[in-house]
């Protein structure tokens, strides 16, 4: 790795010398010395604007003084610079006091009823750098308040100090310039375009960086005072981006979540789903007690000993397998992995409760487990290739990171996709248009270098040959691969061996020395040596009577293909369900064990980079137990202890496993089926999940749901005109399984393809049609 | 002997002065023909040698500004003409463009050639529809005559009525289709101006002065004016005078001389105060009648030459009232970007209204001055500075009059006496 040589410049601030890299702004050089210059418009991640004039300081360079105070947020340091802040310059002090007084003349001073009161930069800096009394005796500017600028963001124009942080964030960071400053003078105000609300996936960041109480979130407005909240550093459970977060709790209830500050991952941002989707934790369907199915076939409340005994008995009575969803923490996934091998003596475990393939399982073992591609590789890439991955919808912080480089240095982005998305358009990406199922061929034609990064999503598993082509392209060009699943727990589950072909740490189950490694740590004589079944194979085996029992945690059977077969398998098997809320699985389970939600337990996720994102319980004294703890109790009951009573125990044990230096699984050759030809009313279906949709973890947050993108069915202009379809026409899309009717949208998409959101209001493809990608559907205008 | 030196305004009294024929009759478009045959750098040098300084107010040397444009950078360069004349009192570009739009077009051709630009944009304020029509016609005629369209194009852009768009970077934002608000500098327009390309922004009068300089040479231009303020310029006389209008004279002429030339103060009245260069320049009084009206002379006397908009107020005028009107203008026109100007003008108006209505106190005067101190030099651009100039200068010269409003419990002046119709039985 090369270290960049940075020119350092030494300046004097208030009599103290400080050396900072060339290009550093005066306001930040002062910060290095612990000298805080008051500011509102300044934000380290936004371009300087110099609008609020709160940070005025006196500056001289090599003995030549500026005739008037300068905005320290806009001026980079120079050799020979002497800065006098409010601490040493009476002129700067008066200038700052004057600006503060002016900022407050039109401010309503309604701190006692303002959400920001207690954590407000205006309030704080008015105390530290202002004067106690105003000399303003005139009439304040007034506005109607508050007004909705989206269903989740409210604007109080009276409180606004017009620093333009929100509008600059939307333009410079999110590339969603849906809000802007309107009007002029004291009547200047933040506004939206007519009939175009602030529907950005990143709008919540504007609420967080607003230095006053002008922008508030509907979910938190008037709910609490900051000083009544207990804050806990946490990690986001919604996707694999790995955002650092802060969870604020009052009296055992989460009231809000904020983006944490981690410059290597999410910088200071997060997405609206991470910020606002947390009510599922307190949803009405939350399970509170264990339940056991009685002889009459009804699920009834049971005591823990009773439920654990029933679970152990059922699991010992039949050949059992484990299905664990992608939301499990690293430690919980490790618990499931060990439980399967030690207590159930099987490798039949799979964390991929979604569309998955055996090609993918080999790819994960051969290329992904232990991989070290990071955000920094995106920062340094010469070219980013997106395969089966829509960063804005499926990993929003990855989108922001790519966008940063696109804006900064015109990073080249290429998307191999069936449809041009809003996100790829914002990234100014080259759109390589392919028919659903024909992705693999397009990958092979890409020219990359050793500085390129291939970002492949979990949808890479949905077209045969894609992941093999990605591996081949990486081999031939030296480009790095990053596999970016949607769910927060998948990378951790992979590393924990919650999959049929791997033990923890990427050790192949078929490798005898790998098994010896693990068996030694686990204290068992031997481990099962045959490769386990995949999620689809497990359901099929249950259906065929080969497997009689299932341990299921955090799985939605409707997320996979052939969901009816999955439901039937759950009906048939003896099912032990570990779940936080009532679901399709708990309804069919024989033993239901309530588990702790993310805010009630500690643990960690591994984000797509494999970087640990650990968190503590935000809600203290929860009676709910983690999956890990409960699995331990079942294992104990079964007489096959896994000794993982606590998260700490799991972390220690994982650390003691060490790295696997042995051979990796190699990928077998995949045959790509012939591409179907479609014409007339036949289309090949393609879809992905949108960031805001009907996901289980978004339940109960209507304000957030209000900003979801509209549900549409997209076809190409050529096919639309052949069918006589225009925007807004109703299209009935059918398979032999079922049908769904959606509004048409004519857009840039492959002529063979029809796109619809996979799990949005009115369009749940796996439930409605039984398929989601690559299948032929028929379309009728109705 | 008259001190007037009509160059720009030489033929304004001719019926067809604004037509291409009228312009050509007096040698119009020969300077551009001459310039197009010259090396661009030689033109820049010639303009530098002439000593021409920006006529928009700041007086920055025009040739030097052109010289800042990077050469051989293989990028588009642009010329932008600032015709957004909106300062209270300033009224030189409007009559110039009405009487002789072609001199500006010829100036654009020369300037574009000099700075290697293919496009000139004339940004004109939207309220002056008659000027817009006239300049449009002139551009059309210049295209028909083959003077434009051969490598140099001129585009007329009409503003939407914002004083701030006279600030050059706000003008560029507005020209690009954004809301006009001043940009952070650096980068300066010469490096990244219109569409982030090297751009020269010049006032109408500056560009219109160029053809005569090309035609007559730098020495001729230097022969007029004072040591550091060369050439002749338009002085716009308005207010309580017998004969308002444009007076083109060498820089350095005094108001006393202009008043003598023009017929003096309104008969029967005496000079009370005046602005040397529009409402943003600190007021002068009768004691400044002999201040040489060039960049240095006016600055030495505590004001700015600005746009040479000589607004004359006689003894019937209430200075508090006049200053309040100007302040209301600045409040209305503040763009809102920075705190001191946006909030400060909002407050200033309220303080002045109270003072004019006799509801103020002497402490309010101190507050007013302190407030001006918190705005002046603290704002993002010069608009906020300009808003304080009439207030601080009027208190400096007429503090007693402010006090009189307080002690009198209102304005001691008869507002009718200052009107044009005063004494006409109105």
B209 and B242 inside one domain: no
d(CA B169, CA A530): 72
State mean pLDDT over A464-469.
Answer: 97
Sequence-separated (6 or more) residues with CB below 8 Å from residue B216: none
The answer to whether the CB atoms of A185 and B346 lie below 8 A apart is yes
d(CA A684, CA A756): 11
B149 and B285 inside one domain: no
Measured in angstroms, the CA of B114 and the nearest CA of chain A are apart by: 33
Put simply, whether B343 touches A (Cβ < 8 Å) is yes
B303 and B328 inside one domain: no
Q: In this predicted structure, what is the pLDDT of residue B426? A: 42
The answer to whether the CB atoms of B374 and A99 lie below 8 A apart is yes
d(CA B246, CA B235): 6
The answer to whether the CB atoms of B346 and A105 lie below 8 A apart is yes
Closest-CA residue to A616 (of A634, A595, A596, A594): A596
d(CA B381, CA A125): 24
d(CA B201, CA B207): 10
Per the omega criterion (within 30 degrees of 0), is the bond before B187 cis?
Answer: yes
Per the omega criterion (within 30 degrees of 0), is the bond before B74 cis?
Answer: no
Q: In this predicted structure, what is the pLDDT of residue B424? A: 58
d(CA A92, CA A83): 10
B89 and B74 inside one domain: yes
| Band (A564; pLDDT cuts 50, 70, 90) | confident
B53 and B97 inside one domain: yes
Q: Is residue B246 part of a domain?
A: yes
Q: Can you tell me whether residue A9 is helix, strand or coil? A: strand
- Does the CA dihedral B20-B23-B26-B27 come out positive or negative? negative
Q: Is residue B5 part of a domain?
A: no
Q: Can you tell me whether residue A263 is helix, strand or coil? A: coil
d(CA B349, CA B283): 18
> What is the CB neighbour count within 10 angstroms for residue A125?
20
Sequence-separated (6 or more) residues with CB below 8 Å from residue A308: A290, A593, A633, A634, A637
Buried b (16+ CB within 10 A) or exposed e, B321-350: ebbbebbebbbebbbbbbbbbbbbbbbbbb
Per-residue pLDDT of B79-98, as tens digits, reads 999 999 999 999 999 999 99
Partners of residue A105 in chain B, C-beta under 8 Å: 343, 346-347
Q: Is residue B91 part of a domain?
A: yes
* Nearest Cα residue in chain B from A104: B343
CATH number at residue B37: 3.40.50.11540
CATH number at residue B288: 3.10.20.600
Partnered with residue B122 across adjacent β-strands are: B81, B156
Partners of residue B342 in chain A, C-beta under 8 Å: 162, 185-186, 188
d(CA B326, CA B335): 16
Q: In this predicted structure, what is the pLDDT of residue A2? A: 54
Task: Kindly tell me if the per-residue pLDDT of A56 is higher than 80.
Answer: yes
Q: Is residue B401 part of a domain?
A: yes
Which tokens hold the place of B73?
């950078």
d(CA A776, CA A771): 9
The answer to whether the CB atoms of A105 and B162 lie below 8 A apart is no
Listing DSSP states for A232-261 in one string gives EEEE--SSTT--EEEEEEETTEEEEEEE--
d(CA A591, CA A313): 11
pTM higher than 0.90: yes
Phi, psi for B8 (deg, rounded to 5): -60, -40
Which tokens hold the place of A745?
């949208």
Q: Is residue B415 part of a domain?
A: no
B307 and B369 inside one domain: no
d(CA A776, CA B243): 87
Closest-CA residue to B201 (of B2, B55, B362): B55
Sequence-separated (6 or more) residues with CB below 8 Å from residue A536: A356, A560, A561, A562
| Interchain CB contacts (distance < 8 Å): A and B | 98
Contact between A236 and A615 (Cβ < 8 Å): no
Sequence-separated (6 or more) residues with CB below 8 Å from residue A495: A330, A369, A370, A504, A505, A506, A606, A610
Put simply, whether B340 touches A (Cβ < 8 Å) is yes
Measured in angstroms, the CA of B285 and the nearest CA of chain A are apart by: 27
Of the residues B222, B248, B264, the one at which a domain ends? B222
Closest-CA residue to B317 (of B406, B422, B392, B426): B422
Q: In this predicted structure, what is the pLDDT of residue B422? A: 80
Tokens 């591994």 sit at which residue?
A: A606
Contact between A258 and A272 (Cβ < 8 Å): no
End-to-end CA distance of chain A: 60
Q: In this predicted structure, what is the pLDDT of residue B402? A: 98
Task: Please report, for residues B63, B417, B421, the alpha-carbon distance to residue B425 in angstroms, rounded to integers and kept in the order given.
Answer: 54, 11, 8
Considering only CA atoms, give the Rg of chain A: 28
d(CA A336, CA A493): 9
The answer to whether the CB atoms of B345 and A185 lie below 8 A apart is yes
Task: Please report, for residues A114, A181, A532, B191, the alpha-carbon distance to residue B180 in angstroms, rounded to integers and kept in the order given.
Answer: 33, 11, 66, 19
B171 and B81 inside one domain: yes
Q: Give ∠ CA A599-A603-A604 in degrees, rounded to 5.
A: 105
B187 and B142 inside one domain: yes
- Across chain B, mean pLDDT equals 96
Mutate to test the interface with B, among A49, A51, A105, A143 (most CBs of B within 10 A): A51
The continuous run of DSSP H or E covering A466 comes out as helix A466-477
Per-residue pLDDT of A64-91, as tens digits, reads 999 999 999 999 999 999 999 999 999 9
How far does CA A746 lie from the centroid of its chain? 29
State mean pLDDT over A464-493.
Answer: 98
Q: Can you tell me whether residue A126 is helix, strand or coil? A: helix
The domain tally of chain B equals 3
Which tokens hold the place of B277?
């260069």
Q: Is residue B394 part of a domain?
A: yes
- Across chain A, mean pLDDT equals 96
> What is the CB neighbour count within 10 angstroms for residue B146?
8
B307 and B341 inside one domain: no
Per-residue pLDDT of A377-428, as tens digits, reads 999 999 999 999 999 999 999 999 999 999 999 999 999 999 999 999 999 9
Measured in angstroms, the CA of B395 and the nearest CA of chain A are apart by: 20
Task: Kindly tell me if the per-residue pLDDT of A132 is higher than 90.
Answer: no
d(CA A390, CA A424): 8
Phi, psi for A754 (deg, rounded to 5): -125, 125
Put simply, whether B195 touches A (Cβ < 8 Å) is no
CATH number at residue B330: 1.20.1440.230
What's the domain range around B377?
A: 319-408
Per-residue pLDDT of A242-293, as tens digits, reads 999 999 999 989 999 999 999 999 999 999 999 999 998 887 789 999 999 9
Sequence-separated (6 or more) residues with CB below 8 Å from residue A183: A189, A191, B336
Tally of helices (H runs) and strands (E runs) in chain A = 25, 38
Listing DSSP states for B282-351 in one string gives PPEEGGGTTS--SHHHHHHTTS--TT-EEEEEETTS-HHHHHHHHHHHHHHH--SSSHHHHHHHHHHHHH
Within 133-192 of A, beta carbons closer than 8 Å to B belong to: 135-136, 138-139, 141, 161-162, 180-188
Tokens 């300033």 sit at which residue?
A: B90
B323 and B270 inside one domain: no
Q: Is residue B57 part of a domain?
A: yes
The answer to whether the CB atoms of B339 and A188 lie below 8 A apart is no
Partners of residue A99 in chain B, C-beta under 8 Å: 339-340, 374, 378
Closest-CA residue to A608 (of A456, A484, A454): A484
Partnered with residue A216 across adjacent β-strands are: A154
The answer to whether the CB atoms of B379 and A53 lie below 8 A apart is yes
B208 and B257 inside one domain: no
Q: In this predicted structure, what is the pLDDT of residue A664? A: 93
Instruction: Mark out the alpha helices in A686-780 (DSSP H runs).
Output: 702-705, 717-723, 765-768
Name the DSSP class of A654.
H
Of the residues B314, B342, B358, the one at which a domain ends? B314
Q: In this predicted structure, what is the pLDDT of residue A3? A: 61
Put simply, whether A73 touches B (Cβ < 8 Å) is no
Put simply, whether A48 touches B (Cβ < 8 Å) is yes
B310 and B328 inside one domain: no
Name the DSSP class of A499.
B
Question: Residues of chain B whose pLDDT is less than 70?
Answer: 1-2, 423-426
Sequence-separated (6 or more) residues with CB below 8 Å from residue B79: B108, B111, B112, B115, B117, B119, B120, B121, B199, B200, B202, B207
> What is the CB neighbour count within 10 angstroms for residue A620?
11
Of the residues B195, B222, B249, the one at which a domain ends? B222
The answer to whether the CB atoms of A186 and B342 lie below 8 A apart is yes
| Band (A196; pLDDT cuts 50, 70, 90) | confident
Q: Is residue B2 part of a domain?
A: no
Q: Give ∠ CA A464-A466-A469 in degrees, rounded to 5.
A: 125
Put simply, whether A51 touches B (Cβ < 8 Å) is yes
Pairing of strands B232-239, B309-314: parallel
Measured in angstroms, the CA of A176 and the nearest CA of chain B are apart by: 16
Contact between A270 and A397 (Cβ < 8 Å): yes
Closest-CA residue to A603 (of A470, A690, A489): A489
Partners of residue A161 in chain B, C-beta under 8 Å: 339
Q: In this predicted structure, what is the pLDDT of residue A4? A: 67
Contact between A157 and A214 (Cβ < 8 Å): yes
Per-residue pLDDT of A684-716, as tens digits, reads 999 999 999 999 999 889 999 999 999 999 999
**Ramachandran category for residue A586: left, alpha or beta (phi over 0 → left; psi -120 to 50 → alpha):** alpha
């Amino acid at each position: 790795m090369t270290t960049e040589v940075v020119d350092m410049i030494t300046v004097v601030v208030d009599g103290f010398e400080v050396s900072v890299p060339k290009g550093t702004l005066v306001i930040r050089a002062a910060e290095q010395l612990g000298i805080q210059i008051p500011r509102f418009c300044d934000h380290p991640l936004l371009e300087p604007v110099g609008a609020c004039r709160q940070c005025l300081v006196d500056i001289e360079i090599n003995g030549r003084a500026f005739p008037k105070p300068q905005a320290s947020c806009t001026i980079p340091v120079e050799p020979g610079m002497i800065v006098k802040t409010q601490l040493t310059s009476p002129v700067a002090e008066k200038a700052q006091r004057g600006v503060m007084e002016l900022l407050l003349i039109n401010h309503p001073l309604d701190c006692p009823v303002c959400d920001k009161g207690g954590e407000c930069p205006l309030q704080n800096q008015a105390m530290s750098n202002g004067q106690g009394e105003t000399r303003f005796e005139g009439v304040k500017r007034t506005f109607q308040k508050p007004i909705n600028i989206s269903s989740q963001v409210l604007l109080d124009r009276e409180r606004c100090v017009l620093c333009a942080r929100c509008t600059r964030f939307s333009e410079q960071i999110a590339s969603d310039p849906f809000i802007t400053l309107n009007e002029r003078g004291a009547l200047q105000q933040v506004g939206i375009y007519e009939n175009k609300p602030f529907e950005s996936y990143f709008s919540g960041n504007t609420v967080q960086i607003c230095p006053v109480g002008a922008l508030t979130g509907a979910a938190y407005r008037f709910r609490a005072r900051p000083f009544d909240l207990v804050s806990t550093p946490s990690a986001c459970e919604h996707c694999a981006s790995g955002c650092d977060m802060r969870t604020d709790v009052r009296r055992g209830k989460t009231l809000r979540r904020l983006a944490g500050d981690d410059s290597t991952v999410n910088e200071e941002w997060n997405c609206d789903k991470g910020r606002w989707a947390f009510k599922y934790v307190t949803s009405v369907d939350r399970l509170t007690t264990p339940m056991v199915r009685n002889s009459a076939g009804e699920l009834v409340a049971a005591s823990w000993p009773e439920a654990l005994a029933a679970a152990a008995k059922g699991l010992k009575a039949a050949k059992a397998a484990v299905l664990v969803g992608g939301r499990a923490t690293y430690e919980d996934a490790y618990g499931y992995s060990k439980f399967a091998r030690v207590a159930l003596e099987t490798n039949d475990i799979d964390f991929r409760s979604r569309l998955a393939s055996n090609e993918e399982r080999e790819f994960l073992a051969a290329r992904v487990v232990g991989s070290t591609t990071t955000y920094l590789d995106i920062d340094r890439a010469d070219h980013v290739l997106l395969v089966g991955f829509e960063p804005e919808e499926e990993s929003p912080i990855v989108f922001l990171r790519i966008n940063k480089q696109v804006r900064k240095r015109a990073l080249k982005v290429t998307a191999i996709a069936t449809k041009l998305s809003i996100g790829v358009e914002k990234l100014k990406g080259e759109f390589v248009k392919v028919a659903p199922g024909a992705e693999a061929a397009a990958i092979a034609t890409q020219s990359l270098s050793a500085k390129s990064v291939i970002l492949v999503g979990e949808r890479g598993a949905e077209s045969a040959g894609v992941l093999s082509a990605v591996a081949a392209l990486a081999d031939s060009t030296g480009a790095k691969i990053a596999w970016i699943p949607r769910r927060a727990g998948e990378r951790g589950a992979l590393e924990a061996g919650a999959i049929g072909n791997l033990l923890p740490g990427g050790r192949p189950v078929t490798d005898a020395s790998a098994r010896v490694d693990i068996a030694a740590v686990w204290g068992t004589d031997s481990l099962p040596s045959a490769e386990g079944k995949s999620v689809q194979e497990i359901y099929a085996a249950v259906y065929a009577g080969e497997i009689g029992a299932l341990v299921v945690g955090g799985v939605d059977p409707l997320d996979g293909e052939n969901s009816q077969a999955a439901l039937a398998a759950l009906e048939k098997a003896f099912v032990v369900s570990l779940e936080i809320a009532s679901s399709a699985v708990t309804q069919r389970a024989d033993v239901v064990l309530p588990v702790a939600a993310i805010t009630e337990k500690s643990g960690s996720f591994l984000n797509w980079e494999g970087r640990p994102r650990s968190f503590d319980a935000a809600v203290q004294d929860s009676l709910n137990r983690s999956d890990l703890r409960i699995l331990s109790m079942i294992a104990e009951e079964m007489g096959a202890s896994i000794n993982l009573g606590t998260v700490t125990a799991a972390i220690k044990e994982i650390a003691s496993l060490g790295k696997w230096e042995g051979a990796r699984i190699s990928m077998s050759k995949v045959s790509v089926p012939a591409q179907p030809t479609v014409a007339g009313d036949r289309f090949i279906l393609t879809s992905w999940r949108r960031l805001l949709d009907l996901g289980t973890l978004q339940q109960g947050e209507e304000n957030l749901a209000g900003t979801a993108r509209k549900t549409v069915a997209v076809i190409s202009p050529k096919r639309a005109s052949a069918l006589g379809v225009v925007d807004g026409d109703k299209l009935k899309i059918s398979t032999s399984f079922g049908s769904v009717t959606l509004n048409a949208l004519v857009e840039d998409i492959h002529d063979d393809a029809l796109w619809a959101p996979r799990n949005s209001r009115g369009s749940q493809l796996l439930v409605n049609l039984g398929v989601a990608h690559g299948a032929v559907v028929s379309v009728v205008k109705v | 002997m008259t001190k007037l030196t009509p160059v720009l305004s030489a033929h304004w009294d001719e019926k067809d002065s604004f037509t291409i024929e009228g312009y050509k009759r007096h040698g119009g478009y020969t300077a551009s023909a001459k310039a197009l045959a010259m090396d661009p750098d030689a033109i820049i040098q010639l303009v530098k040698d002439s000593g021409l300084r920006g006529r928009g107010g700041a007086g920055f040397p025009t040739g030097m500004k052109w010289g800042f444009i990077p050469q051989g950078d293989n990028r588009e360069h642009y010329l932008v003409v600032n015709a957004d004349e909106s300062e209270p009192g300033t009224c030189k570009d409007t009559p110039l463009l009405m009487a002789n739009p072609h001199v500006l077009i010829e100036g654009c051709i020369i300037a574009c050639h000099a700075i290697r630009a293919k496009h000139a944009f004339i940004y004109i304020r939207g309220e002056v529809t008659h000027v817009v029509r006239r300049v449009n016609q002139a551009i059309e005629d210049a295209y028909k005559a083959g003077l434009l369209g051969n490598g140099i194009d001129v585009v007329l852009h009409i503003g939407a009525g914002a004083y701030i768009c006279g600030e050059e970077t706000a003008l560029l934002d507005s020209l690009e289709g954004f809301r006009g608000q001043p940009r952070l500098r650096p980068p300066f327009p010469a490096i990244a101006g219109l569409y982030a390309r090297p751009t020269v922004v010049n006032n109408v009068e500056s560009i219109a002065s160029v053809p005569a300089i090309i035609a007559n040479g730098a020495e001729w231009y230097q022969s007029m004016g004072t040591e550091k303020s060369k050439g002749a310029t338009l002085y716009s006389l308005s207010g309580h005078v017998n004969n308002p209008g444009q007076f083109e004279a060498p820089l350095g002429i005094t108001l006393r001389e202009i008043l003598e030339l023009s017929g003096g103060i309104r008969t029967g009245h005496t000079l009370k105060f005046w602005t040397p260069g529009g409402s943003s320049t600190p007021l002068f009084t009768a004691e400044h009648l002999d201040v040489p009206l060039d960049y240095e002379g006016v600055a030495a006397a505590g004001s700015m030459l600005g746009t040479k908009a000589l607004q004359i107020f006689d003894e019937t005028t209430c200075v508090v009232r006049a200053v309040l009107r100007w302040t209301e203008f600045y409040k209305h026109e503040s763009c809102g970007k920075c705190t001191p100007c946006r909030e400060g003008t909002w407050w200033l108006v309220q303080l002045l209204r109270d003072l004019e209505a006799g509801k103020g106190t002497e402490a309010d005067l101190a507050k007013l001055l302190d407030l001006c101190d918190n705005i002046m030099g603290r704002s993002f651009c010069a608009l906020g500075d300009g808003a304080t100039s009439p207030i601080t200068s009027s208190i400096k010269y007429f503090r007693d009059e402010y006090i009189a409003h307080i002690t009198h419990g209102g304005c001691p002046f008869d507002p009718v006496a200052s009107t044009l119709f005063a004494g006409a039985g109105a």
